[in-house]
Amino acid sequence: MDASFSRRKLLTPTELRSLTERSDLHGALQMASHVGAILIVGYLHALAMGTGWVWVTGFALGVLLNFLYAAQHELSHATVFRTRKLNEVFGRIIGFIQVFPRDYDQIMHFAHHQYTQDWERDGELVREPYTLTTYLLWLSGITYWRNRVFGVVRRARGVIVEPFIRPEEEAKVIRESRIHLGLYALIAVVSVVTGSWAALTFWLIPMVLTKPVHQLQNTIEHLGLSHENDILENTRSTRTNAIFRWLCWQMPYHTAHHTFPAVPFWKLRELNDRIEDKAGEVHRMGWIEFQIEVIRKLMAKDESQYPINEVWIVPTTGGRTRRVPAE
């Protein structure tokens, strides 16, 4: 079954129109709750300075900051707010915080959706197959941050090597990278002049140190699945609880999101239920369950040695049921 076949038979046009309706209110509530949590924990982090509690508040702050990328992701899809300009404005602000410029991220992510699991064209799969070592380095955040920082610097120098960036997009990507670097440099200068450690204490250090928690979600979504053009076979959802679904902006319903990317985050659970009602249970694993299994598999052999068009990381209790929607 190819991806278009899967989508065509899962929802009626009327159902799709209803599910793709945006809402400024829902977007504002989610954004306010996430940003509000960051501000509250940031305040507690300031109070905890000089005590052992600083490790707890720093961890919580870093996790909240890292998962703010889920907001950037949805803002790139313009599904957070009904007012399109709000999606762009908030996307640029959060992209700056994430050291992940909005225009570049959007171009890369749209290539990921258009060519999911295609080794040559998927914007988020332009890498060498994992070995155990390279996977653990990515999971730790070491190579993640190396790629993010060096990538912004390289693109600011006008060097574009990403195959998913079209020639007509290069100028805005380069300009965006230069603006980001200039603003980061300004923050550094102001910090030195004022003797302030705030940028490190409340932003960079917590975010860098807790990146492995965010990587639990980033790595589970497609690794170990088929590279065929079938969303129901090349994308995985996450088994988790309501708190983490809020933190991830409902992205644990990842198969539903990939099947119909225009559906806002707050309607993904309903979409997921409709998909599973028609096509059977989607691929789903828990974060820790997945990590144990992928590390076990990579200890045996490298990713390149596993079948490219088969699912090779599945729950230890077995896979899921799949049925084809009737004509």
pLDDT tens digits along 235-270: 999 999 999 999 999 999 999 999 999 999 999 999
pLDDT value of position 7: 73
**Greatest pairwise CA separation for the chain in angstroms:** 68
Is-contact 110 123, C-beta < 8 A? yes
pLDDT per residue as tens digits for the range 11-52: 989 999 999 999 999 999 999 999 999 999 999 999 999 999
Q: Is 41 within the bounds of a domain?
A: yes
Q: Is the pLDDT of residue 2 over 60?
A: no
pTM of the model: 0.93
pLDDT value of position 6: 57
Q: Is 289 within the bounds of a domain?
A: yes
Q: Is the pLDDT of residue 288 over 90?
A: yes
Q: Is 312 within the bounds of a domain?
A: no
Q: Is 280 within the bounds of a domain?
A: yes
Q: Is 310 within the bounds of a domain?
A: no
Q: Is 47 within the bounds of a domain?
A: yes
Q: Is 327 within the bounds of a domain?
A: no
Q: Is the pLDDT of residue 100 over 60?
A: yes
Q: How confident is the model at residue 3 (pLDDT cuts 50, 70, 90)?
A: low
CA distance 28 to 217: 23
Q: Is 318 within the bounds of a domain?
A: no
Looking at the structure of the chain, the number of domains it has is: 1
The upper half-sphere exposure of residue 75, i.e. CA atoms within 13 Å in the direction of its Cβ, equals 23
User: H/E element holding 294?
Assistant: helix 287-300
The pLDDT > 90 percentage for the chain reads 91
Is-contact 122 116, C-beta < 8 A? yes
Place of tokens 């369950």: 289
Domain holding 238, by residue range, is: 3-305
CA distance 224 to 321: 18
Q: Is the pLDDT of residue 1 over 90?
A: no
Q: Is the pLDDT of residue 324 over 50?
A: no
Q: How many CB atoms lie within 10 A of CB 9?
A: 15
Average pLDDT over residues 69-75: 98
pLDDT value of position 318: 56
Mean model confidence pLDDT for the chain: 94
**C-alpha 26 chain-centroid distance:** 20
Nearest 5 degrees, angle CA 181-CA 185-CA 187?
A: 120
Q: Is the pLDDT of residue 327 over 50?
A: no
pLDDT value of position 154: 98
Q: How confident is the model at residue 146 (pLDDT cuts 50, 70, 90)?
A: very high
